[in-house]
Amino acid sequence: MPSITFIHPDSRRQQIEAGDGESAMQAATRNDVSGILAECGGNAMCATCHVYVDEDWLSRLPPMGDDEDALLDGAAAERRANSRLSCQIKLDADLDGLVLNLPDRQL
Ligand code: FES
């Protein structure tokens, strides 16, 4: 089971265990990670699951799709080069140790 760490805007770190095949958003909501709202339930329609991927991990994620790219333009918090939608990050053993930073707002 991959372990992932969310870093809150106040620098608090929250490490959770994810199930294989689960998205980072699903793992976050199942573990009550505040800061991931996921209003659309993972259908790439809301951008309230926005995260900033730790630079060391960015190149290890699959490239984003057009829908994700377009949605990130409308994210509530500033879009950065390392912005992704956590519902589009599927977790597996290769992503064990992934670090994701939470933006200061999702709405
Ligand atoms: S949960 Fe809505 S876009 Fe990710």
- Name every protein residue with a CB atom under 6 angstroms from any ligand 1 atom: 25, 38-40, 42, 44-49, 71, 85, 87
Quote the pLDDT of residue 1.
Answer: 85
CA distance 49 to 93: 22
Mutate which of 30, 51, 64, 85 for ligand 1? The one with the most ligand atoms within 8 Å of its CB, which is: 85
pTM of the model: 0.97
Q: Please list the pLDDT of the chain residue by residue as tens digits (107 residues).
A: 899 999 999 999 999 999 988 999 999 999 999 999 999 999 999 999 999 999 999 999 999 999 999 999 999 999 999 999 999 999 999 999 999 999 999 99
Residues forming a β-bridge with 84: 51
Q: Which domains does the chain have, with CATH numbers?
A: 3-101 (3.10.20.30)
What residue type is 17 in one-letter code? Answer: E
